[in-house]
Structure 1
Amino acid sequence: MNLVFYLLAIAIGVITGGITSFIGASGVMIIVPILTMLFKLSVHTAIGTSLFVDVIASLTVAYSYYKSGNMELKSGIWIALTSIIGAQLGAFFASKMGEGNLSTSFGIVLVIAGLSMLRKSYKEKSDSSDTISGFLHFKTEWQKILAALIIGLGIGILSGIFGAGGGVMILLALIVLMSFPLHKAIGTSTLIMTITALSSAVGYAARGNIDLVLGSLIAVGAVLGGVLGSRYANKVNEKTLQRAVGICFAAMGVVMTAIAIIK
């Protein structure tokens, strides 16, 4: 790689950290397509490298939210517990999938995620209290914990297969199941995402599917983007950002799927 590629890797990291800090989403949805299409990495190595970056970016953002008092571990920790197990299962399943199948699957997930974000940005109404009430109600605490454990397992499996730390899914779980305020949900989900991504990254590293040099460069940018993004997260219109990222995800998913089909 030459200097231009080094600078590009850092720039990608800045964008990744910024996205994670603003909406609690895993930056893997940006990193994986770019690493496969631009840096010519195999999809397995791209996912493993993205998980490595995800750990650093998410931890940076989580710490920033923690300092602002926007983190709640007591409820969210149950999701994290089973997501670790699920992440290992997902990484194992991914290693058995063909390159083309994994690329196509990831592209489809990318499109769905983008369209979901667009739909959410137009459908959701503003709430002055910044809280979205959950529609699932449990009679006992153990039912709530059991549901969180099951959701965590599912999030972990998807994380291991597609390389996503599960940020969006964790965020929805915290909002729907726990009725978290939005900012506290983002702070807590990024910490859980750190744990989930770390578990998945270990699985990919054990199979030699992480490019540490490229990943470290992207991680440097992710830390910078995460710190700056967290500082200004409350000053940017959330719906506008959701629409922009949603369009980006959907477009990249279409491109990645098309390339996999053509190959």
Structure 2
Amino acid sequence: MPGLTALAVLELLGTGFIAGYLGGIIGTGGCVLMLPMLVFLLKYPIPEAIATTVFAVVWTATFGTMSHAKLGNIDYETSAIVLAAGAIGALLGSVIFALIMKHTGALQVILGAAFLYAAVRMIYEWIKKIPGSEADEIPGKPSSKAAIGFGIGILTGILGLGGGYALVPSFIYLLDAPVHLAVGTSMISMIPMATVSAAYKMAQGLTDLVGGTLLGLGTIAGVKLGAKTTQKIKPWTIKGIFGVVFLYISLKFILQGLGIKLL
């Protein structure tokens, strides 16, 4: 794994802060900034970047949950179902990851598809300025919530992206959840998913614990500030900006996976 210079330490802490802030606002866990930073700027190999990112997401999700709990942004009944199913899915996804981790090109294309989904979703919400529901809980059948948790848990085990990028829109669009509850419930639901995925990859010896810890430390202040910002600004304001950024990142992953370099 790459050595950490003083500049790299500052980059990791700064990336953690920005990622935590973004995660606090839109419930992504910050992984969508952490992972490409490790791959494209600090030159981590894809498997190590995935393992280190999901380790850092445990920090982000934990502190994000604490902040959102104080603000009353969590539907605990829904989260109990989602996190239990998600942990099982994350274990299965981690096994799949272990089988395909040497196929770097395939991993890059899969990551690119995940980022493309996030980009399209954010740009769509920015254009439409979707306000979301005003309910005081997340509706839906327990079986539907369990299915969402299990499916996104599998993705977390494979991609190390925490799951928030998929949980939040699933809560909003599939279950008609209000935005603030979708974000807070996503945070607490990510903890067991990320923990299972991170533990499996640590056992494989893939995780840069120092780098992941620095990322995690950076998220602490960022996620607290982001959670408070959620109630002060319209979420789609920042989604428009990051939607464009994620679109570039998705294309970079996909093209590199296919052997084509993009600046």
The residue number in structure 2 matching 1:180 is 177
**TM-score, structure 2 normalization:** 0.90
Preserved contact between residue 137 and residue 181 of structure 2 (Cα < 8 Å): no
The CA deviation at 1:213 is 0.6
The residue number in structure 2 matching 1:107 is 112
The residue number in structure 1 matching 2:186 is 189
Q: Secondary structure at the match of 1:235?
A: coil
Structure 2 letter corresponding to 1:187? G
Preserved contact between residue 78 and residue 185 of structure 2 (Cα < 8 Å): no
Preserved contact between residue 163 and residue 200 of structure 1 (Cα < 8 Å): yes
Structure 2: distance between partners of 1:243 and 1:222: 22
Preserved contact between residue 13 and residue 217 of structure 2 (Cα < 8 Å): yes
Segment of structure 1 superposing worse, 51-60 or 180-189: 180-189
Q: Deviations over 1:224-249 (max 9, x none)?
A: 11122222222223111111111111
The CA deviation at 1:167 is 0.9
Report whether the alignment pairs 1:56 with 2:59.
yes
Counterparts of residues 120-135 of structure 1 (less than 5 Å): 120-126=125-131, 130-131=134-135
The residue number in structure 1 matching 2:44 is 41
Preserved contact between residue 90 and residue 157 of structure 1 (Cα < 8 Å): yes
Preserved contact between residue 86 and residue 156 of structure 1 (Cα < 8 Å): yes
Q: Secondary structure at the match of 1:246?
A: helix
Structure 2: distance between partners of 1:133 and 1:115: 26
Structure 1: distance between partners of 2:154 and 2:91: 7
Report whether the alignment pairs 1:148 with 2:145.
yes
Structure 2: distance between partners of 1:217 and 1:126: 35
Q: 1:74 aligns with which of 69, 74, 77?
A: 77
Q: Deviations over 1:121-158 (max 9, x none)?
A: 2224436x745998xx87xxxxx112222221111111
| CA RMSD across the alignment | 2.1
The CA deviation at 1:195 is 1.7
Q: Deviations over 1:1-40 (max 9, x none)?
A: 2211110111100111011100011322211122112222
The residue number in structure 2 matching 1:8 is 11
Preserved contact between residue 79 and residue 148 of structure 1 (Cα < 8 Å): yes
The residue number in structure 1 matching 2:211 is 214
Structure 1: distance between partners of 2:80 and 2:180: 17
Pair 130,204 (structure 1): closer, same or farther in 2 beyond 3 Å: same
Structure 1 letter corresponding to 2:91? Q
Structure 2: distance between partners of 1:112 and 1:171: 13
Structure 2: distance between partners of 1:49 and 1:203: 12
Structure 2 letter corresponding to 1:2? T
The residue number in structure 1 matching 2:201 is 204
Structure 2: distance between partners of 1:216 and 1:186: 23
Q: Secondary structure at the match of 1:58?
A: helix
Segment of structure 1 superposing worse, 40-49 or 169-178: 169-178
Count of residue pairs brought into register by the alignment: 255
Structure 2 letter corresponding to 1:254? L
Q: Deviations over 1:155-176 (max 9, x none)?
A: 1111111112211322233334
Gaps (5+ residues) in structure 1?
139-143
The residue number in structure 1 matching 2:167 is 170
Structure 2: distance between partners of 1:230 and 1:54: 15
Segment of structure 1 superposing worse, 12-21 or 180-189: 180-189
Pair 124,116 (structure 1): closer, same or farther in 2 beyond 3 Å: same
